[in-house]
């Protein structure tokens, strides 16, 4: 059973193809224009492995947090594919995906220009409190140590972790933004 | 054989999809508007628009296919507005279109949103060439000559603000709610042209200018309130509307006279304005020219016009690849 993995949340665009839980292809592209590259990379991965979209039986998408536009691209592609081809979609945040690399309680962060997206996870990789976005100033006083180094995701682990998790309806799938937009703060 | 195009439009605050047959017949049209949400903020908030497009995208697709009673497999091509507009919003429509093109192996057609507004006239009327095209919207004010399908020559354009932008600004100083244009028009119905405002451009070109008129109104409102005088809001709305639109009329008249072209299309959101329609009709009657303005549904942003504008490109096999990206600016020529 083929599973398509889509991660567009940050500068590295990652598309992978899994067969029965094993990663058989993974393409990583450093890109600042995900909108120009995502569909081509997906096509490349499918074509190189001679896999038709009709044989893809699961989609895993990183739903954020990160670049708003970046995350939206992966999410929109997953929504349309999932809806049209009736492919179950499973969504996971990038932070939770990274937490699978840790066997202990851990607080993880993704940096962007003005601050850090933060999430804390227990040993079972469950989110402990809501994700927060801390400005560079707020980080200084933050009580927990935030790991921001390890950005590797073990896609096989993600697949295993999501195995017994529920799929999300394509209509309801949406990005995890965490950060509020200016007018909402006002 | 008939050609069915699935068209997508997401350049501003409407998520819209349509199934258009042979560039003419609107088999189905769905428009999910975000207007009420943006009204809370007094104007379109780009990030909110992008988020709402994302949430609506598969729902709009489901609705349009249901209305058309068709399947994606029945489509001959996927068309999408790629420019001009809010890039974050455009990208949602573009990624959806590219995904559809990929998974159903259909050609992808990139359509300029403004050209879409012009081709909206082809839905219920027949565009014939040569033809004058006046584009009036929130971002654009230009006058073009079309010699044939997709053959554009610019006569003139705004040197600063677009007329729609000016309407929105006037709405703000008159404390009118978003969307400003229709509300200024409504208020103007109750007023008389009693304020003296500067004429936009006195020159002999086909260009437009609206920043002077805008500033004059802002200053007038400011000065009157400083003096403690009441603004006759309806009169000011009426005076503004007449000066702004009379300038369009003056330039279009010059074009009708000099080019001797007997057809005029008016396109873009401001073409929904009744006073504009009446004045253009009078002008066309005078020069025995045919006036085309789409009915309201096709004046404002909608995907049917994108499907109509995509059809000539489909016939010419002018397809896009998957690198297609959004652009905030998108000059026709």
pLDDT at position B246: 95
CA-based angle B332:B266:B25, to the nearest 5?
85
Residue B178 pLDDT level (bands cut at 50, 70, 90): confident
Count up the domains in chain A and report the number.
Answer: 1
**CA–CA min distance B322, chain A (Å):** 6
The two most distant CA atoms of chain A are separated, in Å, by: 52
What value does the mean pLDDT of chain A take? 95
Q: Can you list the positions of beta strands (E) in chain B? A: 4-9, 14-21, 25-33, 77-83, 108-112, 131-136, 141-148, 151-157, 263-267, 290-292
Res. A92 pLDDT band, cuts 50 70 90:
very high
How would you classify residue B251: left for phi > 0, otherwise alpha for psi between -120 and 50, otherwise beta? alpha
pLDDT of residue A186: 59
- Among A43, A171, A181, whose Cβ lies nearest the Cβ of B322? A43
CATH number at residue A122: 3.30.420.40
Q: How many residues does chain B have?
A: 333
Tell me: the pLDDT tens digits for B198-252? 987 768 899 999 999 999 999 999 999 999 999 999 999 999 999 999 999 999 9
Q: Percent of chain B, pLDDT > 90?
A: 93
The verdict on a CB contact (< 8 Å) between B322 and A39 is yes
For A96-147, how does the pLDDT look when each residue is reduced to its tens digit (9 = 90+)? 999 999 999 999 999 998 899 999 999 999 999 999 999 999 998 899 999 9
- pLDDT of B7 higher than 70: yes
pLDDT digits (tens, 9 = 90+) for B290-301: 999 999 999 999
Backbone region of residue B22 per phi and psi (left: phi > 0; alpha: psi in -120 to 50; beta: other values): left
| Rounded Cα gap, residues B161 and B210, in angstroms | 5
| Site from A8, A36, A89 to mutate, B interface, most B CB atoms within 10 angstroms | A36
Q: Give the tokens for residue A99.
A: 């937490």
* DSSP letter for each residue of B199-226: -S--SSSS-B--HHHHHHHHHHHHHHHH
Q: Mark yes or no for CB contact B54/A75 under 8 Å.
A: yes
How far is residue A115's CA from residue A96's CA, in Å, rounded to a whole number? 19
pLDDT in tens, A15-44: 999 999 999 999 999 998 999 999 999 999
Find the mean pLDDT for residues B126-148. Answer: 96
Question: Tell me, what DSSP letter sits at residue A181?
Answer: P
- Given a cut of 70, whether residue A150 has pLDDT beyond it is no
Q: What is the model's pLDDT at position B199?
A: 84
CB contact under 8 A, A72 and B41: no
Mind telling me how many Å the CA of B143 is from chain A's nearest CA?
32
B51 lies within 8 A of chain A by CB: yes
Q: Which residues of B97-120 are buried (b: 16+ CB within 10 A; e: fewer)?
A: bbbbbbbbebbbbbbbbbbbbbbb
For residue B324, is pLDDT > 90?
A: yes
pLDDT of residue A141: 86
Mean pLDDT of B321-327: 97
The percent of residues above 70 in pLDDT, for chain B, comes to 100
A28 strand-pairing partners: A14
A chain contacts of residue B46, beta-carbon cutoff 8 Å = none
Question: Which of B41, B58, B98 is facing A83, going by the closest CB pair?
Answer: B58
Kindly provide the ipTM of the predicted complex, given to two decimals: 0.97
Average pLDDT, chain B: 96
pTM of the model: 0.96
Q: What are B61-89's pLDDT values in tens digits?
A: 999 999 999 999 999 999 999 999 999 99
Question: Which B positions 142-161 lie with beta carbon below 8 A of chain A?
Answer: none
Q: Which pLDDT band holds residue B331 (cuts at 50, 70, 90)?
A: confident
Domains of chain B by start residue, with CATH: 4-119+298-315 (3.30.420.40), 128-293 (3.30.420.40)
Residue A9 to residue A70: CA distance in whole angstroms: 5
| pLDDT score, position A152 | 86
Tell me the mean pLDDT in the region B107-120: 97
Q: How is residue A59 written in tokens?
A: 């989609």
Classify residue B105 by its DSSP letter.
T
Put simply, the answer to whether A69 touches B91 (Cβ < 8 Å) is: yes
What residue numbers bound the domain in which A131 lies?
A: 2-185
The answer to whether A1 faces chain B, any CB pair under 8 Å, is no
Kindly state whether A180 is in contact with chain B, defined as any CB-CB distance less than 8 angstroms.
no
B91: distance to nearest CA of chain A, Å? 7
């Amino acid at each position: 059973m083929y599973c398509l993995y889509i991660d567009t949340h940050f500068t590295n665009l990652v598309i992978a193809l899994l067969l029965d839980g094993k990663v058989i292809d993974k393409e990583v592209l450093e890109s600042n224009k995900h909108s120009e590259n995502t569909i081509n990379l997906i096509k490349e991965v499918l074509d190189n492995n001679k896999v038709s979209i009709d044989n893809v039986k699961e989609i895993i998408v990183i739903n954020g947090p990160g670049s708003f536009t970046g995350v939206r691209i992966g999410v929109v592609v997953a929504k349309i594919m999932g809806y049209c081809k009736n492919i179950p979609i499973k969504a996971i945040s990038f932070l939770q995906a990274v937490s699978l690399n840790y066997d202990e309680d851990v607080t993880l962060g993704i940096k962007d220009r003005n601050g850090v997206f933060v999430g804390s996870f227990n040993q079972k990789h469950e989110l402990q409190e809501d994700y927060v976005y801390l400005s560079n100033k707020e980080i200084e006083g933050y009580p927990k140590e935030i790991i921001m180094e390890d950005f590797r995701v073990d896609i096989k682990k993600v697949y295993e972790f999501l195995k017994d998790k529920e799929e999300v309806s394509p209509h309801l799938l949406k990005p995890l933004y965490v950060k509020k937009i200016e007018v909402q703060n006002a | 054989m008939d050609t069915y195009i699935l068209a997508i439009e997401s350049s501003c605050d409407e998520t819209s999809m349509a199934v258009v047959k042979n560039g003419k017949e609107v088999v189905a049209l769905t428009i999910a508007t975000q207007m009420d949400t943006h009204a809370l903020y007094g104007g379109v908030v780009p990030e909110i628009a992008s988020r709402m497009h994302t949430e609506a995208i598969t729902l709009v697709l489901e609705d349009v296919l249901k209305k058309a009673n068709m399947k994606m497999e029945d489509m001959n091509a996927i068309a999408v507005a790629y420019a001009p507009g809010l890039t974050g919003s455009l990208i949602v429509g573009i990624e959806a279109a590219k995904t559809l093109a990929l998974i159903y192996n259909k050609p992808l057609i990139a359509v300029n949103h403004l050209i879409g507004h012009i081709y909206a006239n082809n839905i219920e009327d027949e565009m014939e060439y040569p033809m004058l095209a006046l584009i009036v919207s929130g971002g654009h004010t230009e006058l073009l000559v079309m010699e044939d399908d997709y053959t554009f020559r610019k006569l003139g354009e705004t040197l600063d603000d677009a007329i729609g932008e000016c309407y929105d600004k006037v709405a703000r100083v008159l404390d009118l709610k978003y969307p400003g244009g229709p509300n200024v028009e409504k208020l103007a119905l109750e007023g008389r042209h009693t304020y003296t405002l500067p004429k936009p451009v006195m020159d002999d070109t086909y260009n437009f200018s609206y920043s002077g008129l805008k500033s004059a109104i802002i200053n007038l409102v400011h000065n009157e309130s400083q003096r403690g005088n009441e603004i006759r809001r309806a009169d000011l709305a009426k005076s503004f509307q007449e000066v702004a639109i009379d300038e369009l009329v003056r330039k279009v008249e010059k074009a009708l006279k000099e080019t001797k072209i007997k057809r005029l299309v008016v396109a873009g959101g401001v073409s929904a304005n009744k006073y504009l329609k009446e004045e253009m009709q009078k002008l066309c009657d005078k020069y025995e020219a045919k006036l085309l303005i789409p009915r309201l549904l096709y004046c404002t942003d909608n995907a049917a016009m994108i499907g109509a504008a995509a059809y000539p490109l489909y016939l010419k096999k002018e397809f896009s690849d998957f690198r297609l990206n959004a652009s905030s600016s998108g000059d026709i020529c």
